[in-house]
Amino acid sequence: MRLFLAINLPVAERRAIRAATASMRAAGEGRDVQWMGDAQLHITLKFLGERPDDAVSPLRAALAPVVGSHAVFPVELRGLGAFPNLRAPRVVWLGVTPDPKLELLQHDVERTCAEVGYALDARTFRPHITIGRARDLVPAEAARAIAASARGVRYAASVPVHSVDLMASELRPAGARHSVLAALALGGS
């Protein structure tokens, strides 16, 4: 199964994000952008890739005390953008304000995964919530429409982080389906 570690958002916040970005979805509808459903909105801390079923228990055992050593903290959500940029979007995202508590949590998750045999991710951690993915190059006109719509979105929220979830991702023609395999509570949760 495909595994990853994530911070899931409360259902109400997922719905608010989807409502706030509806104009972007409309601007990019049918234009090679696959928009994420509510259940897919999360902050990825580490992608683990294809793993056997028996990988879940050792990961949970290694990560639970590390995650539990972190106190509950808020993450600030605001701003929209794309990788590499809105002129040629491959991944359209909602921003997560960099925060030392979030960065330390991600670092500890990364380090613990390395200690149990997973490769270190050499890329810099850039927290975000993926709201859309382009299958191919988005035509310039569509990219301009998405960018113009993004400028009109006024969304900001503060969301408490209570757990890091070990997730399975099942790829389907209509998009990935995510399920929580283990919720690892932060201290004070």
Name the DSSP class of 103: H
The number of C-alpha atoms within 13 Å of 138 and in the hemisphere containing its C-beta is 30
pLDDT in the model for residue 64: 97
Q: Which CATH architecture has domain 2-185?
A: Alpha-Beta Complex (3.90)
pLDDT in the model for residue 14: 95
pLDDT in the model for residue 31: 60
Q: Which residues of 10-35 are buried (b: 16+ CB within 10 A; e: fewer)?
A: eeebbebbbebbebbbebbeeeebeb
Both tokens of residue 149? 């719509």
- Residue for token digits 């399975």? 168
pTM here?
0.93
Parallel, antiparallel or unpaired: strands 177-185 and 163-170: antiparallel
What are the residue ranges in the chain where pLDDT is below 50? Answer: none
Q: Which residues are catalytic?
A: 42, 128
pLDDT in the model for residue 28: 74
The number of C-alpha atoms within 13 Å of 135 and in the hemisphere containing its C-beta is 11
Q: Are 41 and 17 in contact (CB under 8 A)?
A: yes
State how far the alpha carbon of 179 is from the alpha carbons of 3, 106, 134, 152, in Å.
10, 20, 23, 32
Task: Determine if the peptide bond prior to 100 is cis (ω within 30°).
Answer: no
Three-state SS for 57?
helix
pLDDT in the model for residue 30: 67
- d(CA 189, CA 187) in angstroms, rounded, equals 6
- Residue for token digits 């911070």? 7
